[in-house]
Amino acid sequence: MELVSNLIHQFSDVIYYFVSFSLIISVIIFVHEYGHYIIAKACKVKVESFSIGFGPEVFGFYNKFGTRWKLSAIPLGGYVKMLGDNNTASVPVSQQELTEEERLYSLHTKPRYKKTAIVFAGPLANMILAVIAFTIFFSVTGYYRTPPVIGSIIEGSVADQAGLLPGDIITQINEYGIKYFEDISRVMMLSPEAKVEIRYSRNNKGHKTTLTPLITEDKDVFGDEIKRKTIGITSVNIAGLKRSSFLGAVSLSVSETYHVMYLTIKALFQIVIGKRSINEIGGPIKIAKYSVQSTKKGFVMVLYFMAVLSATLAAVNLLPIPLLDGGHLFNYIIEAIIRRDLSPRYHKYAATFGATILFLLMVIAISNDIRHLF
């Protein structure tokens, strides 16, 4: 009887993971694809299908414009297929295969600036979603914008050994300027090197020191154990510092969206050049885990997670990898330089290369997810 109960409990957990993940990722994917869709319609491009998910269709219908809206079986992405696309990756068909009327509404016969607008609209929609979700989150929970002034030094810490003192103003860490105290931990994340150079102001005079942060065990907003770099300083304690003004929340949300995207691209670049471990790449299992944890902490935390995930998706999609939006934008830049369209043969080989890269990244991500589970 106990075995049956455990199996039922485990099955319920799996369903909860799947539903939480599917709902959150589907909203983010829908916003992304709707960005493509709405600008395509504005540019008079016919959209043949709009799918949330890949694989076999589960449910679908046609709208009055002849677009097939559908929910597909594998909730790991989505696509809009436009007239003139040979497949869901927007590899163009030979335009000679289209009728004269079809060429009027084909994506690939439109001016390059319209194609660029349609492609860029997806990541832009995700940026807008991230800003909106962050704004609601910060408006509800409040936020801190602490000046980068050291309030106290932990005795014996690396900051103490480096000669930092209470009242010192941190102005720069490595090549990154520091505007708020909260920027310090963010910059530490960007620095895979063992040592960091800190520039600070004391009595209106500039100083610098180099130190090696300690790696400590901590917990993130979802309660998971993570490793953080610390140097042993705390911020000044200013009463009533927590704010919740709407305009302030909007400003912070734009900044936070930018920082998430910058962190994502910077971290990926550091992995490529070998400064970070490839084990840091996470995949759908990790996303599902955080989806569940955010739903358990309430709607506000779901918004926070969606904002981070949406900004991350925008950044990844802008990478110049074939099949991604950034790959298409890169092609348009090349075409503008050479003043002609790239050949169908190029698109075929580029699509194969891009699919290989994305497949390898997915294998690495899922392998990391499975290893971290056990």
Q: Which residues are catalytic?
A: 33
Structure token pair of residue 215: 């790696």
In b/e form, how buried is each residue of 136-154, taking b as 16+ CB within 10 angstroms?
Answer: bbbbeeebebbebbbeebe
The secondary structure of 13-59 as a DSSP string is HHHHHHHHHHHHHHHHHHHHHHHHHHHHHHTT--EEEEEEEEEEEEE
Look-up: residue for tokens 């042993």? 232
Comparing CA positions, the residue from 352, 306, 333, 332 lying closest to residue 128 is 306
For 62, list phi and psi in degrees, rounded to 5: -100, 140
Helix axis angle, 325-338 relative to 112-141, nearest 10°? 140
Q: Whole-angstrom Cα distance, residue 284 to residue 137?
A: 24
Look-up: residue for tokens 């929340």? 249
Comparing CA positions, the residue from 196, 202, 148, 143 lying closest to residue 174 is 196
In b/e form, how buried is each residue of 16-42, taking b as 16+ CB within 10 angstroms?
Answer: eeeebbbebbbbbbbbbbbbbbebbee
For 331, list phi and psi in degrees, rounded to 5: -60, -40
Q: Whole-angstrom Cα distance, residue 141 to residue 301?
A: 10
Look-up: residue for tokens 């709009």? 50
Structure token pair of residue 339: 């003043």
Give the containing element (helix H, strand E) for 65.
none
In b/e form, how buried is each residue of 89-100, taking b as 16+ CB within 10 angstroms?
Answer: bbbbeeeeebee
Structure token pair of residue 195: 């040592």
